[in-house]
Chains A and B, each alone.
Chain A
Amino acid sequence: MSANEIKHAGLNLGDTDELTHGQAGSAVFGFWVFLMSDAVIFALLFATYGVMLPATVGGPTPASEYKILSAFLETLTLLTSSFTFGMVSVAMKHGASRRQLLSWMGVTLVLGAAFLGMELHDFTTMFGDGAYPTRSGYLSSFFALVPLHGLHVFFGSVWIIVMMVQVMTFGLDARVKINILRLSLFWHFLDIVWIAIFSVVYLQGLIR
């Protein structure tokens, strides 16, 4: 078994911290399996959204509600946060200073919060237009799918805060490192789900 062996998705610690790398195998793999299970939940909500898309019952429609610029900005924000989380992983792996690590985490957190703010703003606008979930089957399915992603981002942000506190209290012990690895998978995974939402929900709804 060589140190450089790839044991799990995401960044592997083999060439800088062999000890943690040894434990990370099943810990990170397990989390990855969980994400796949979560992906099925999202997939079924997408399918439900597809089924309910025609059920607008004379109410608001995708074309009348979605704002392409704001969805695009949200996408850019999340993509950027994925890159900054990549920098968190690199900093963690290569023993960067604690300040550098924490600042990358902080930047990611801010981007996550910005995303949530924009999304919330979208939702309030929709509510103001009379596009709320109890209006129609279509809006029900929209408000089950998209806010669930937002909820994930919210919990991801809470998790970032918890990990920042842990970095400050414990430094980078094996458990902190493993949890940052898991968090990175979570964050990048949410990005993929968002790409699906951006394409299937927003862009599809706005195609003329």
Chain B
Amino acid sequence: MNKNCPTEYNPWLHYFAIATAITTFLLLGLGGLVTSHEAGMSVPDWPNTYGYNMFLFPIGKWVGGVFYEHTHRLLASAVGLLTVILAVWLWRGDARRWMGRLGLVAVLLVIAQGVLGGLRVRWHMDNLGVFHGTVAQVFFILVCALALLTSRWWLQLSAERNWVSVPAGLRSLFVVTTFLIFLQLMLGATMRHQHAGLAIRDFPLAYGQWWPDTSPEAMARYNSQRVEVVTETPVTAFQIILQMFHRLGALAIFLAVTLCAWQARRQLGRRDGLARMAAAWHGLLILQIGLGIETLHSNKAADIATLHVMIGALSLVTGALWCVIAFRRSDATPKLAGNRANSGELNCPAVLALGGK
């Protein structure tokens, strides 16, 4: 194929990438449920399940926490399989070499993810759950990006190049904000993998103060009063401070995303796709903060806490994809009419297909 040709749109590849992304999102949710139900260690062995080959584990034994952990492992295997197929397809069927490489990275990530999850169980290291949760988010970004990059919309955008370019300042603002969200997710994952129940219950105050007392006497007092049904573990000062940072992080992110939405609208115009996306992002973050507060009020009801994880992942992905699109649109010189002939794209069949819009 002529390497100057724009990539041909392959609808099935694109749908397949979307299916992989959606399955990954469901897997994230199921993984969130495992942690919400404190079921991460309910299947003591790996890769076997209670001594059975995991695919032959009898359904009658999928009880209590085992149900979440086991279905998580099964769905994870499905995502692994989808990822491998997607990678092979990209490698062989996408003219962009780097797409094949991205597919390979996805495969490596999904393998790392499986091994991390397995070692967490085998080594009894709850802390690995934090990395497992973080890598999951990165992997999710990657498959969503693959779905975006294989879309007709993206290929058309790249071929036609008739965009309003996104100023560097605006791009940096979004990159920094997305990174803040990433840090917030890591903080959140660290909190969840303390397996200690909520370190602070009240909001916006914390133990009745703007900044809670974490002296040893205060900690002893909090713990002597604490009665938990699940995760009955003493709370530590570290955990309280972790949640305080998560709260401050939420405030910082909220302000940053508000600024992003406002600036995108101001600099790109209200009708620009990226401005709209930024507005939706803003809405997503308001929802996310509401869910965070509700997580506290519901004393960490498993469904609410899990939704908080899932919307958190969507917030991150929205920011990341915004940045990907913005960098695509960073070119300061929009394509002039007639360029196409000059760049040797004349004989490209895909252009004709795309141009037929």
Chain A partners chain B: no
* Chain A residues near B (Cβ < 8 Å): none
